[in-house]
């Protein structure tokens, strides 16, 4: 009977890479949303016009 190859290290590496990419993506989205909220808040207060 043939022995099944040990693929766990590769699987662990693959999942680690995917989770790392996902974490970086979520962090960059959060930073972009924070910057957009800050910009919208500053634009609304700075010119004295509502809805522009």
pLDDT at residue number 44: 81
Note the pTM of the prediction, 2 decimals. 0.68
In order, the DSSP letters of 10-49 are HHHHHHHHHHHHHHHHHHHHHHHHHHHHHHHHHHHHHSS-
Task: Give pLDDT tens digits for 5-51.
Answer: 999 999 999 999 999 999 999 999 999 999 999 999 998 876 655 55
What's residue 12's pLDDT?
97
């Amino acid at each position: 009977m043939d022995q099944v190859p040990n693929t766990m290290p590769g699987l662990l590496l693959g999942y680690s890479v995917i989770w790392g990419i996902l974490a970086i993506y979520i962090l960059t989205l959060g930073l972009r949303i924070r910057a957009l909220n800050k910009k919208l808040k500053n634009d609304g207060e700075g010119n004295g016009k509502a809805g522009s």
